[in-house]
Amino acid sequence: MLRAHLAGAVPIRRAAIKSLATYVPPRLLTNADLEKMVDTTDEWILQRTGIRERHIVDPGVATSDLAKEAALEAIRRAGLTPADIDLIVVGTVTPDMFFPSTACLVQDKIGATRAWGFDVSAACSAFTYALTVGSQMVAAGVAQHVLVIGADVMSSIIDYTDRATCVLFGDGAGAVVLGVSDDPSIGILDFEHQVDGSGGPSLCMPAGGSKRPASHDTVEQRLHYVKQDGQSVFKFAVRKTGDICERILQRNNVTAAELDLFVSHQANKRIIMSAAERIGIPEEKVIINIDRFGNTTAATIPLALNDAVMTGRLKKGDLILLASVGAGFTVGSVLVRWGI
């Protein structure tokens, strides 16, 4: 596949991340809390997933509310105002409602008076996909500043009587502002994505869409909650995270040793470490923060990036690999030279 940055002769207009900000709701749901709600233990959750606690919204707080907080701070950190944003791309699987899109709600809440926008539905790959869409818009020269958000209120679609899923997820949001890179070696270098729709039944919310509209029956059967076949998703995620990362590294002639950081979607610590081992990335180059946030779906990668920045593990000029696998199945990877 010919990529714009590989074409050589044409001057490169590359998108770069100009700022990053995240937001999680203050309320904590700990493993000890879950022990009182379902038949589980702190030990099981920690050993099988790496999660200790997650943040959960109060009733009435929606995805656009979390997205707004992250977005306004990201815009401020970029030295811009909301009126400078041309496009808003929101990755989410828990929009406030079917329509209008969360991007429209965020546009209004932050006062991005010049922006257009839309949502990207790719579950746990929503941030890598939204980042790709936004960066291509900047690279194509049709947008100067794109606000890319990954935000989810997973607690709104989790069955807190189902121990197989309720221990896994949390709520959160992350936003980046993309702009034109001053230096073509810095920014979004490449992406590699795939979907495999045959995996759909392994992780889905069965009702509430056009196939099974909400009814007394669907509510009684608890079909408006996340249903997951954990083991098959686990196996797919380990294999595909490795595959997609090897492909993007190979195409860009980058070795695992040249990477400064591996920033994966945070669904399970064991998935991340197995994939890192397969690719040949040592533990000290892997960001893990699932212990504090759980799986926040579209928000995990910006939350992980933020932790990396705050702890001094991610610096200007670092070469980093983002990776995601999620419901769909969706698979994504983005190679980035960090520029802030």
Residues with catalytic roles: 124, 265, 295
d(CA 263, CA 2): 25
276 binds ligand UT7 (CB under 6 A): no
Q: Which stretch binds ligand UT7 (CB under 6 A): 56-64, 103-111, 151-159, 161-169?
A: 161-169
- 28 or 164: CB nearest ligand UT7: 164
Query: Least CB distance from residue 318 to ligand UT7, whole Å?
Result: 25
Asked if residue 98 has a cis previous peptide bond (ω within 30° of 0), the answer is no
Please state, in angstroms and rounded to a whole number, the distance separating the CA atoms of residues 220 and 51. 30
What one-character-per-residue DSSP string does 209-255 give? SSSS---HHHHHTTTTS-EE-HHHHHHHHHHHHHHHHHHHHHHTT--
CB of 135 to ligand UT7, least distance (A): 23
Per-position x/- string for 226-265, each x denoting binding to ligand UT7 as judged by CB under 6 A, each - no binding: ----xx-xx--x----------------------------
322 is a contact residue toward ligand UT7 (CB under 6 A): no
C-alpha angle 294/319/149, rounded to 5°?
45
Interface of this chain with ligand UT7, residues 208 to 227, rule: CB under 6 A? none
User: Out of 326, 328, 332, 339, which residue is the one contacting ligand UT7 (CB under 6 A)?
Assistant: 326
330: nearest Cα among 120, 123, 149, 169: 123
| CB of 249 vs ligand UT7, minimal distance in Å | 22
Considering only 52, 76, 109, 163, the residue that binds ligand UT7 (CB under 6 A) is 163
Q: At what angle do helices 300-310 and 126-139 cross, to 10 degrees?
A: 80
Q: How many C-beta atoms surround the C-beta of residue 229 within 10 A?
A: 14
Q: Which of 24, 57, 90, 167 binds ligand UT7 (CB under 6 A)?
A: 167
Non-local (6+) Cβ contacts of 312 within 8 A are none
Shorter beta-carbon distance to ligand UT7: residue 107 or 268: 268
Q: What b-and-e string marks burial along 247-259, b requiring 16 or more CB atoms within 10 Å of the CB?
A: ebbeebebebeeb
The count of chain residues that interact with ligand UT7, using the rule CB under 6 A, is 19
| In the complex, least distance from residue 22 CB atom to ligand UT7, rounded to whole angstroms | 18
The residues facing 245 across adjacent strands are: none
Which phi and psi (to 5°) does residue 246 adopt?
-60, -40
Nearer CB in complex with ligand UT7: 178/271:
271
- Report the nearest approach of ligand UT7 to the CB of residue 269 (Å): 9
The length of the chain, given as a count of residues: 340
**Which stretch in 9-17, 43-51, 277-285, 332-340 sits in contact with ligand UT7 by CB under 6 A?**
43-51
Q: Which residues bind ligand UT7 (CB under 6 A)?
A: 40, 44, 48-49, 124, 163-164, 167, 203, 230-231, 233-234, 237, 267-268, 271, 295, 326
